[in-house]
């Protein structure tokens, strides 16, 4: 005899219409009342679809969570088929003729409007590739919008959105006119750049422009199923390429910080380099580029750099004092409460530290079953996943108003990509300051915190494939 709930669990991901037929009548929904609203905790896919498009109430929070995480428990083709079927909206078989008439005249039109609005919301805000003139999912939606529901203005808007997606056009709403970006602080010789001679504020600006571009490209689906930890393969639909690009960038920036210091044979030049890096980190902090701040701290706290006791003893008190608020920001106390609280109050534009989100998402993934004991989709887990994703999306909405300096960016890209791995720097560090000589610090003003970068380091290790 089969186990109860087993069949529903196997039916959560599908794409063929005959599989949709199998679960059509499974409509169990588990909710919880928190005193203010009804919260969906679990349900079958069909029940969740009905709640998404119910005629008597609009639950905007549920809709956002569903559209953010639907790829966690179903597929795009299956969701399209179910929404089209939901639009047909046949009355319950138990209804008498009078109830059927009432259903057709009052309930069905409302459900159909809900379906169209959900499709519009999906296409405008939550659709993730692929797209283009040959995408079968978009072609099916185009046929639906043009053929089945052309009598409504909402359907015409849906058809226009589909057409724009088929044409590969960006549907993001344009931002209001932004102020003129600040004038770049250019070095005297753009054709012969040196790190120490480039203004710290301008380095921070160009690093921020580069990372913001990568951060804006991350798709919602990349945060589901811990896809950033999976090795790339031909059959991987969402290999989280944008997250991996950010992780590599974080590592490169951290390694570059160490390489800049290790490259200097003279103690005085090493201390000047550290001072300039601290200034860059401070400017990144002022730009709310917290990812770059933590990456720079990671480089300063790496073993080859932190062990340079004689070098740190000569770093100015001003630089050491400037590091204190940055360290306080990334303190691991109370699960990084100081950083989380600051981030909660931050008004975009901002580039948050992605590693902490990946850590949170991993805990949610590993600590909560995807299916309840009753064989229902664990929508409570989806709610927790969506909470982190929505916060990330909030920071993706606002662009920075900064001017690109191609020469400086080209220099930075070359430097970042050529920086050696931190493990390759240790021998050089020991040559600069041999073990046992002067390792006692003369000034105890700077103490490495470490912990904050652990989650990103773990994520980065997955890229060693």
Q: What is the pLDDT of residue 463?
A: 60
3-state DSSP call for residue 351?
A: strand
Tell how many helices (H) and how many strands (E) occur in the chain: 22, 3
Q: E strands within 335-407?
A: 377-378
Q: What is the pLDDT of residue 18?
A: 40
Of 334, 379, 445, 308, which Cα lies nearest the Cα of 62?
379
Of 351, 377, 346, 383, which Cα lies nearest the Cα of 364?
383
**How far is residue 105's CA from residue 86's CA, in Å, rounded to a whole number?**
16
Strands 377-378 and 29-33: unpaired
The answer to whether the beta carbons of residues 142 and 159 sit under 8 Å apart is yes
End-to-end CA distance of the chain: 44
Altogether, the residues listed in the chain come to a count of: 465
Query: In a 10 Å sphere around its CB, with 0-12 CB exposed, 13-18 middle and 19+ buried, how is residue 41 labelled?
Result: middle
**How far is residue 160's CA from residue 146's CA, in Å, rounded to a whole number?**
10
Greatest Cα pair distance, the chain, in angstroms, is: 94
Q: What is the pLDDT of residue 8?
A: 35
Report which secondary-structure segment, H or E, holds 42. Answer: strand 38-43
In 217-316, alpha helices (H):
241-262, 267-286, 290-300, 303-306, 309-314
Q: In angstroms, how far is CA 446 from the centroid of its own chain?
A: 32
3-state DSSP call for residue 306?
A: helix
Cα angle 313, 316, 318 (rounded to 5 degrees) comes to: 135
Count Cα atoms within 13 angstroms, Cβ side, for 204.
23
DSSP-derived secondary structure letter, 32: E
**How far is residue 312's CA from residue 305's CA, in Å, rounded to a whole number?**
9
Report which secondary-structure segment, H or E, holds 39. Answer: strand 38-43
Residue pLDDT tens, the chain, 465 long: 333 333 333 333 333 444 444 444 467 999 998 877 889 999 999 999 999 999 999 999 999 999 999 999 999 999 999 999 999 988 988 999 999 999 999 999 999 999 999 999 999 999 987 778 889 999 999 999 987 654 578 888 999 999 999 998 876 666 566 789 999 999 988 989 999 999 999 999 999 999 999 999 999 999 999 999 887 665 555 579 999 999 999 999 999 999 999 999 999 999 999 999 999 999 999 999 999 999 999 999 999 999 999 999 999 999 999 999 999 998 888 999 999 999 999 999 999 999 999 999 999 999 999 999 999 999 999 999 999 999 999 999 899 999 999 999 999 999 999 999 888 899 999 999 998 755 554 444 445 444 445 444 445 445 654
Of 160, 130, 132, which Cα lies nearest the Cα of 146?
160
Query: Is the pTM here over 0.75, yes or no?
Result: yes
**How far is residue 189's CA from residue 407's CA, in Å, rounded to a whole number?**
10
The answer to whether the beta carbons of residues 270 and 308 sit under 8 Å apart is yes
The answer to whether the beta carbons of residues 368 and 318 sit under 8 Å apart is no
């Amino acid at each position: 005899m089969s186990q109860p709930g087993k069949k529903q669990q196997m039916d959560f991901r599908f794409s063929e219409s005959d599989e949709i037929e199998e679960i059509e009548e499974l409509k169990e929904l588990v909710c919880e009342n928190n005193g203010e609203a009804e919260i969906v905790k679990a349900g079958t896919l069909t029940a969740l679809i009905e709640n998404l498009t119910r005629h008597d109430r609009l639950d905007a929070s549920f809709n956002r969570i569903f559209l953010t995480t639907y790829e966690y428990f179903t597929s795009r083709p299956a969701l399209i088929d179910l929404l089209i079927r939901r639009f047909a909206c046949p009355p319950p078989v138990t209804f008498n003729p009078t109830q059927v008439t009432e259903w057709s005249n009052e309930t069905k039109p409302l459900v159909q409007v809900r379906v169209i609005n959900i499709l519009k919301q999906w296409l405008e805000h939550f659709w993730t590739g692929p797209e283009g003139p040959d995408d079968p999912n978009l072609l099916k939606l185009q046929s639906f919008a043009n053929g089945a529901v052309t009598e409504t203005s909402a359907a015409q808007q849906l058809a226009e959105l589909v057409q724009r997606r088929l044409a590969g056009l960006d549907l993001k709403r344009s931002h209001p006119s932004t102020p003129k970006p600040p004038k770049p602080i250019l070095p005297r010789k753009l054709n012969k750049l040196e790190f120490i001679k480039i203004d710290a504020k301008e380095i921070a600006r160009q690093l921020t422009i580069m990372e913001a571009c990568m951060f804006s490209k991350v798709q919602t689906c990349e945060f589901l199923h811990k896809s950033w930890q999976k090795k790339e393969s031909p059959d991987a639909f969402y290999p989280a390429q944008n997250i991996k690009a950010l992780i590599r960038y974080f590592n490169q920036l951290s390694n570059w910080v160490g390489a800049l210091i290790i490259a200097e044979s003279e103690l005085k030049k090493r201390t000047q380099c550290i001072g300039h890096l601290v200034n860059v980190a401070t400017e990144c902090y002022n730009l709310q580029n917290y990812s770059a701040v933590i990456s720079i701290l990671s480089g300063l706290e790496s073993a080859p750099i932190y062990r340079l006791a004689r070098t740190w003893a000569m770093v100015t008190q001003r630089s050491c004092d400037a590091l204190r608020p940055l360290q306080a920001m990334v303190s691991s106390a109370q699960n990084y409460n100081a950083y989380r609280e600051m981030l909660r109050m931050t008004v975009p534009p901002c580039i948050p530290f992605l590693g902490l989100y990946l850590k949170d998402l991993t805990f949610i993934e590993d600590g909560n079953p995807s299916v309840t004991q009753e064989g229902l989709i664990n929508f409570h887990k989806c709610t927790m996943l969506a909470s982190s994703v929505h916060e990330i999306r909030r920071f993706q909405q606002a662009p920075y108003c900064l001017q690109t300096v191609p020469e400086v960016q080209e220099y930075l890209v070359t430097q970042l990509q050529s920086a050696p791995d931190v493990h390759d720097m240790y021998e050089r560090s020991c040559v600069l300051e041999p073990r046992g000589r002067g390792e006692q610090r003369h000034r105890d003003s700077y103490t490495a915190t470490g912990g904050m970068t652990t989650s990103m380091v773990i994520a980065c290790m997955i890229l060693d494939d």
